[in-house]
Amino acid sequence: MSYFNFDNKRVYYTEFGNGTPLLLLHGNTASSNMFAEIAEKYKKNFKVILIDFLGHGKSDRLDKFPADLWFYEAKQTIALLREKQYSKVNIIGSSGGALVAINVALEASELVNKVIADSFEGEKPLKAFTENIEVDRENSKQNENAKAFYLYMHGLDWEQVVDNDTSAIIRHEKEIGKFFHKDLQSFKSDILLTGSKEDEFIGTISPNYFEKVYGELVSKIGHGKINLFETGGHPAMLTNQDSFYQLSMEFFGQ
């Protein structure tokens, strides 16, 4: 297992395959284990890079997650790419990892080639999600399928990871209220925004949520593409895995 140091803690990462570097960024309460199946597809054409953000998976734990969590995770990602001396890396970020991916491209555009940002809420937290998150997370901790997911992602201390994440989301909405530090107009990389119209986190709010929010993002960036899958849940990357894989290979020019 490979680690690099960030903030005096060990961050886990792994690399396999050959070709142009492709970095996969996991979402909230998840780890790089979420990509176990689809990463096997990508390794045929790319050098796949996986990372467990601090406090997740095989990385060192944090007593508390910072409120500006997705920016903090972007700084970890940038540190890894610079330590490995990578440039022009392709990135796929899913759910919270999409927010990280966009932050990486905004803060260190020289390191990034193309970005796919999958299944995320936009520039700002979604109040309908954050105001119910404590109850939703407590319910998830009693759900056998959710518990199995958390255990697979993190191991026996999964509950601490989930509670830390819940706290960070609540504090971020109250204290910060936006995901990106730089204006989207400064985003340089090619970008593809993806999602599922049946996403269980978004669909209950508005059936056209992604069309509206992603359309506004592309307008602000000044370039980019949108692809929404008719079926599948959250995230689209995994619930529409075969279609997503083909779409991403075309986008990356493979």
* pLDDT of 76 strictly over 80: yes
Using 50, 70 and 90 to split pLDDT, how confident is the model at 129?
Answer: confident
pLDDT digits (tens, 9 = 90+) for 131-167: 899 999 999 999 999 999 999 999 999 999 999 999 9
Of 43-52, 65-74, 120-129, 175-184, the poorest mean pLDDT is in 120-129
**Whole-number Å distance between alpha carbons of 173 and 125:** 6
* pLDDT of 170 strictly over 80: yes
Task: Kindly tell me the burial class for residue 231, based on how many C-beta atoms sit within 10 Å of its own C-beta (0-12, 13-18, 19 or more).
Answer: exposed
Mean pLDDT of the chain: 96
Q: Please give the pLDDT value at position 207.
A: 79
Picking from 191, 205, 195, the residue whose alpha carbon sits closest to that of residue 240 is 195
pLDDT mean over 55-67: 98
pTM metric for this prediction? 0.97
Q: Please give the pLDDT value at position 8.
A: 97
The strand order across the sheet containing 89-94 reads 2-6, 9-17, 46-52, 20-25, 89-94, 112-118, 190-196, 225-229
Tell me which residue has tokens 């050098």. Answer: 47
Class of domain 2-251: alpha beta
Chain-centre distance for alpha carbon 187: 17
Provide the strand spans (E) within 95-244.
112-118, 190-196, 225-229
State residue 157 phi and psi, 5-degree precision.
Answer: -95, 25
Tell me which residue has tokens 């392709």. Answer: 90
Q: Please give the pLDDT value at position 159.
A: 97
Using 50, 70 and 90 to split pLDDT, how confident is the model at 98?
Answer: very high
Q: Please give the pLDDT value at position 61.
A: 98
* pLDDT of 1 strictly over 80: no
DSSP secondary structure of 226-239 = EEEESS--S-HHHH
**Whole-number Å distance between alpha carbons of 4 and 125:** 30
